[in-house]
Structure formats: structure tokens, C-alpha cells
Chain A
Amino acid sequence: MNAPKRKVWSMVGRDPETMPLEEIDLSHPGIWRANEYLPFLARLRRDDPVHYCPESAVGPYWSVTKYKDIVQVDTSHNIFSSEPTIGIVDITEEHNLPMFIAMDPPKHDVQRRTVQGVVAPQNLKNLEPIIRERVCSILDSLPLNEEFDWVERVSIELTTQMLATLFDFPFDDRRKLTYWSDVATAIPGGGVIDSYEDRAEPLGECLDYFTRLWNERVNSEPRNDLISMLAHGESTRNMPPHEFLGNIILLIVGGNDTTRNSISGGVLALNENPEEYQKLRDNPAVIPNMVSEIIRWQTPLAYMRRTALVDTELGGKQIKAGDKVVMWYASGNRDGDVIDQPDRFWIDRPNARQHLSFGFGIHRCMGNRLAEMQLRILWEEILKRFHTVEVVGEPERTYSSFVKGYVKLPVRLHPL
């Protein structure tokens, strides 16, 4: 192994306009936690839209930053593979959990078709009253006129309850879901785990727990929860344990941080844009459109990674077979060539559904309708109760270039 030439990987505090292009490294979590990433994305879109970072803590990789190039990569699954992983870090075989988000067709298609029924719009109609009931009871339990952490009391609680509902998971144990999700996405050194080896124990516990649920459900009538669907599905019922765990984690992670951070992000965006907040109070019918705008503005997953299967060209650059290619949705969503006034948070934005946050192509987010439904219900119920969810302190952001979100968001509620 060669020792890295540069010891300091972080770009925090560096000048995005003048620093040498080849030193720009979006993968480092520092600029994301410090909320300094936008000018770096803008520089790349302008000066080097398909950008090669020759050296970083995660090795060399390409950054794709323009909306149209991202759509091209996302829809060319024959050229840009989702295997072996969609994260920027190469992980060894033994730490890699097989999941269909990181599989190519035909296996991907078969597995996805088996589980997508649970979040299909038909099923969501049945889920809506339960989710609304849970939203209401969470909101009704919140303190008025005093400071508390919105992330903890609302964003995490609501997404966790929703996941427990989807899995028909024992309700009192629901925080385990959050914990397993955090472990699965954690970067060593970020506070949750110190090394990938640390994941073994909690993930083993997760597998045992879900295996127990599987065994219960495989022996009873098929039902509409995810475990039951996996246990009875033709293409999933003989899944090896490793793969079962992978798919469980995929669904927990997929539905966890993303929705959680959209819930927090919406509150923050409305506080930073009081005139939009007023528009919302004046016209709650804008909520579905606002939900799409919140998801664009937040971009809860900053990127997805692909691996080139063959030598190819993108935006005039020669990409070699085996190269890592990272699609920065967080950048494409701010691309003024496609998105009108991209830096504006604009709740009645025309064409608000046209954003990259759910990805495009065959891996397009399977839970997108569920996420939108949760956010819609949440804001409908917030407006019935509170005049303002006021942000009263600096948000603390996630240490990750992948999960774009919040660790803390101090708020105070002003009732109607």
C-alpha cells in the first residue's frame, strides 16, 4: 500500500473558487456537516461537470454533477452497474450485504417485484389512516412554547413508527430499527462505530430478530407486511440468511434516514423562507407540491455510486471499465439548466416533481410514494395545530457525504 500523499482530506475552510480542481473531493464528510458543500458543487458544474478526483480517502472516483449527465448515467445500467455497492467506499466481500439496490438485472428486477407490493399505492391507501393516527398522537404529545429537539421527538419517532408498521414489528422494540439503520450506514469514526468489524454484533442481533419474525410468519397465512411477503414470496422464500438480512437492512435504511431528514429539512427550509411559510398557512392545498419541493431541496441522499462495466465516454471524459462514478443528486438538483431558480425554496414551484432525489431508471426509489404520503400527512396535521414550528438554534448536521441530514434541530412550537 502506498501511503497517501495528502494527509489532510477535509475541504472545510478551503476556497471553492480558487482551490485546484483536482483537489476537490466531495466524498469527505466534513463539508457536508459544515454545510459548505454547495459552492463546491457549483464550481464543478461550471468548470468541470464530469470531474475526476485522482486521490481521496476512498480512492479515485468520478463526480457527475449536471442534471442531464446524471439522468444519463442513471438510465444506462448496462454501462454503469450498481454492483458491487452503491456507496462510495469499497467494502470487502465479507462486509458487503447483498441487497437489490446493489444488483443489476435480472436479479434486481425479480427481487424488487417481490417486495414492492408493500409500498405500492394500493397498499398505501390502507396504511394512510394508521399513519395519520400515529402522526396525530406524536404531534399531540409535544410540549408547547418550550424548546425541544425536533429530530428526536418527531422525525425519528415518526419514521420509526412507520417502519414498525410496514414490518409489523413489535412496537415497543421499534427503536432497535433506528439503531440498526444507523449502524448499517455509519462511517467508522463518525460516532456510531469505530470500525466495520463493530457492525458484526448489532447486525447479527438484527438478523436473529428478523429470523424469529420470519419463522413466525412463514408458518402462518400470508399477510401484507414486508416480512410475510418475503417469507412467502416465490423469489424470496429461499433466500440465504445473508441476503435476507441485506434486504431487511435495505428497507430499514431506505425508509429511515431519508424520510427522517425530509421531515427535519422541511421545518428548516420554511424557517429560512418565512414568506413561503406564510404561503403555506394561507393555502394548505399546496402541500403535495411543497412535499416534492422539500425532497428536492433537502436531497436526503446526496449521491448514488455506479461502477463502469466498459470503457465509455461521458461529458467528453474517458471513463475506464472499473472506474467509480458518483452521481451527485445534491448537485443535479441545483442545476439551473434544468431547474428554474434552483437555489430558491419555492413551495408552489412549477414541475416540482421533476427532481433527482429519488434517482431515475430501474433503481428509482421504491418507497417514493410512501415517503411523499408521510410528509403530506405530517404537514396537514401540523397546520391544524401549530402556527409556527420555530427553529430556535443552529441545526447540527450529519457527518456523511451520503446521508444528508440532521442530528439535532432545536425548535419551539407556537400553537394556533
Chain B
Amino acid sequence: MDVRLQISMVFHLDKCIGCHTCSIACKNVWTDRKGAEYMWWNNVETKPGTGYPTAWEDQEKYKGGWEQKNGQPELKMGGRVLRVLNVFHNPNMPTMDDYYEPWTYRYEDLFNAPEGADQPTARPISMVTGRPIDIEAGPNWDDDLGGSPVYAANDPNLDALTPEQRQEVFDLERLVFFYLPRICNHCLNAACVAACPSGAIYKRGEDGIVLINQERCRGWRMCVTACPYKKTFYNWSTGKSEKCILCFPRLETGQAPACFHSCVGRIRYLGALLYDADLMLEAMSVADDKLVEAQREMILDPFDPRVCEEALKNGIDDRTIEAARRSPVYRYVKQWKLALPLHPEFRTLPMLFYVPPLLPVMAKTDDGLYDTANQELFSPIEKARLPMEYLARLFSGGNIEHVRLALKKQYAVRLFKRLETVGDLDPAQVHRALEQVDSNEEEAEQIYRLTSLPTMDERYVIPPMHREEAMQMLNDDLWEEKGEAGIGFHERATRGA
């Protein structure tokens, strides 16, 4: 057992209102600069929809993530030698047109235009060339247009549906969409790390945050292709790739990342997970529909004394283990099985998990009448307007059972609370519902509390980051430095040359 720590995330999709506050918070803090205008380290997509960059989930086009080759995981974009040869021209590199050309407006024109019969206008100006442009796409071009055949029909995930189901999804009566906020997943088996020819991208051992060393990045741009979530971005001005840093400077001072902190819907949870790195190769090598389970298997129980012992041996200290015990992510992902990884079939072992949304039900029945009576216990789940296959395509490598359980459990919790607050349900039936999802009243109450009423401290359980230990990077034996003029990246205070 090789116990490691990962700062991990849960997004509760039922709570996201699609306000984009998270994206703006991130943009203001990190990417409001030349060359980074088009980058949205955090973005919120409408599903069904094509997302950003357009159709990023289509790996036949973008060649992101891993695949099994001769029983070994290999990057979908090809092997090492190919990657070194492709530095001259990366055949699978998305271009700015797959995202959008950033623009601003010539606002001065509004004030400086000569007097005339017409209203002056502020023309859109490209932020790359400085010339007027016709805007053809933007960061949220298909925002809220789920269900519209123009954009949503190109959603790569719809291939999980039968032609009839596809047809139905676009029926006016079924019109449905939900939001999918996305940041870097800080994967365990990060494809960007593996693809970087310079070795500039790395995972921080102490918290699992994936970072790009800006000084070692040489602009070979393989990470842009390799990341199946398209969350590494090429800065066209500095010639370096950049990505979400999970606001590590904030985490190190005990604050939640900007997008978490600002989230209006309070959908975001952050906490530590202990996992067994020895199981990694195994977890990324199973069949698509087994991936969720295999990844869950990797996550260790922080209450297990043996795990704690191994963790301590690996240098994880007890206050960190303590934080892992209070981690909301551990509960959602491992204990409650409510949160699922996004596209586990990309095999990067993403560490951002989503609670799938309870979608509106399909109230209309075959003969055109609305029938709400005579419902089976979980029929609203089965009759959801968006077929469950779609959610399974997103969150469980096609395994419907995981999605079904997550939805049923959320629904059972609702029934349980309704019984308590409204009291118009049959208690026996509610208990039957809880039993069917392998749950009980106590757990239902906990799920309810952490979903609906959590305080900020319950949503973000940030372990102490122990940056003081970073000094060990510089010298194994800090006693050696005792009596010196400080420690760190600095010149020694010596006399003369």
C-alpha cells in the first residue's frame, strides 16, 4: 500500500444555477492577461451541448486521454517517439478557432464619433490582431440552448442514445438541460503530465495539485492535445501552456479556491482523499464500465488504522489525516456513492466528482395526456426527460447502474425529508425506498444536511498544507542549515569569492 493524499472536489450538479460567477472569479484572479484572454480555467457548460472548446469530448477529433494498447495504457495521441517528432507540428493541436478569438469593443468610438444622424457603435475588436472582427463564437456560445438542435445535436454524448431517444430529446415537450461546471480534474494519471516532452508538468506529492512549471515549459504544446478535458491552454503570447492551479496560494493559506469561494449555488465541495497509488495501474486498465468502481476502490478509508499507519509512514501527518476524515468528498464519493467522475473512460483517473442532477420528469404520457397519478416509487427517475444513458455516458463509462443509484438515492432522501416536513407520504413506502438504495434514515439525514445546509467549513475542509516542510526539498537535513543566514533559494552569506 502506497498511501497518498489528493485534494479532491465534488460538484453537486443539482445545485448549479449556471450563473458563471465561478468563471468570472477565476478570470479576474488568474487569466485577465494578454495571451490568456481566451482561457477559462473554470467554465460552465450547458448539457446537452458541445461545450468549450467545441465538442471537446470527441476524442476521435482531439485525441486526448489514454487508451489500452496491448494491455498497456498509452496516450491516445501516440507514443513517445511520435510526440518528440511532432514538436514541429502537432497534428492534433486544437487552434484558437476551436475555442474562440477573444475580443473587446472600441468603446472610445462612442465618445469620439463625430456628430451625425446615426448612433455611434462600438465595434468588436480582436484582442489578438487589434482589427475589427465578426464575432463567430464565444466562451459560452451555446449557453442555455440545451435541446436546441442547432448546437446540442452535436453533443458527442448523444451517441449513447438510440435514434428514437435522440429524436425524443429534441421534442419541445422534453426540452431539458443542466449545467456542467468544469475545472482541471487534477487527475491521478494525468495525461498532460505524461505528454509533456520537457517534463514541465508535475503533480505535487503533498496535495496532488497538477501544475505547469512556467520556467521549464518550452511551448511544445503536447499537453493541450493530451488533456482529454481540454483544461491545459496554450498562451499564444508567452508561448507557454497554462492551466488551473486549484488556487494553491489560497489553499496554502487555508482559503478555498476562488471559484469555490464565490460559488453562488454552493454546489462545490473540497476535501482530502487518501488513496492507494499501488492500485493505479490496475484502476486505469479495467473495462470502461468498471472504471468508476476501480477508482472508488483506490480511495482508502481514513478511519482504518492500517491506512493511517501507512499514511504516516509516507509522510502524511496526522492533522492531514484528521482533515481527510472530515472530507465531504470522501462521503459523497466513497461512502454515499453519490458522486461520479466525469468521463472516466478517458482513463486519467480524474479527481473531481459530480453528483448527477435529478432532471425534470417526463410528465406527458403516450396518449398526450399528463398523468401524475399512480406513480411507481422511483418512476420519476426512470421517466426523466433526459435518458439515463446520457448521464451514464458522461459520468460512469456507460454503466447505468452507478447513475441510477446516485439518482435514486437523492430521490429517496427527498422522500424521506418530505415525510418529515410535509408528512403526506406513507412511512413504510419511504423506508422501502431508502432500503432499496442501501441507505437508512441516519445516512439520509446526513446527505440532506451536507447537500442543503452545509456551512462553508463543512464544504471546504482544507488540510494544513505544511509549506514549511517544503524546505526539505532543498535540504534533507535541516539541522545542517541551523546557524545559517536563512534557508531557501538564495545565495549563501559567505565572505569573498
- Are these two chains actual partners, yes or no? no
Q: Interface residues, chain A, CB within 8 Å of chain B? A: none
